[in-house]
Homo-oligomer: A and B are copies of this chain.
Amino acid sequence: MANFPSTLETLIDKFASLPGIGKKSAQRLAFFMLTRSDEEADAFAAAITAAKHSIRFCSVCQNLTENEICPICASDRRDHSVICVVSEPRDVLSIERGREYNGTYHVLHGVLSPMTHVGPDDIRIRELLERVAKEDIQEVIMATNPDTEGEATALYISRLLRPFKVRVTRLAYGIPVGSNLEFTDNATLNRAMEGRTEMLPD
């Protein structure tokens, strides 16, 4: 016997197939699972199946949802003339956490990345254009990450939107609130300088 029992080997292989989990970690996780109660292990398995089978993409904004249309797109308390474009579902959560934004979202599920062969057809750009073409959209706010790929994606989409009569904006760059100048990198400082706004004392 130079192996674990086959069902255990299978479970180790499954864990090892997850991103960022090596063979040793997979072994550790599989052993941990064996130490749980039957109920806990079954609940874990059921959670995978339930999530996988019940989660789909909102037919409007492409965010993850358990319904045909997500709660935000279905809400009549949101401003449906504004679309905030983000790359991942978790970005929606980040912006919602701010409790300021009251428009809708569009989740691209990725960014353009020539290095990893992600092109315009691999992310949900077409669905965004269809929305802008069909619905009465006043403004599209580009809120992809402020890195090279996020910038390029925002720029690419803003060009595609040019034919439509819609205002396209980008999240402001600047010094994070609560941060200080000493620890702010040069690129951010320069952007903050360029984007400086009038101070209007009362």
Contact = CB atoms under 8 A, between A and B. Distances in A.
B10 A34 contact: no
Contacts of A71: 1
Interface in A36-86: 36, 38, 41-55, 64-66, 70-72
Contacts of A49: 41-42, 45
Given A70-B1, A89-B4, A19 B32 contact: yes
A32 B15 CA distance: 12
A180 interface: no
Interface of A: 1-8, 10-11, 13-14, 18-21, 25, 27-34, 36, 38, 41-55, 64-66, 70-72, 89-90, 92-93, 96-97
Given A10-B50, A11-B50, A42-B52, 9 more contacts: A2-B96, A5-B66, A7-B51, A13-B47, A20-B28, A31-B89, A42-B49, A45-B48, A45-B49
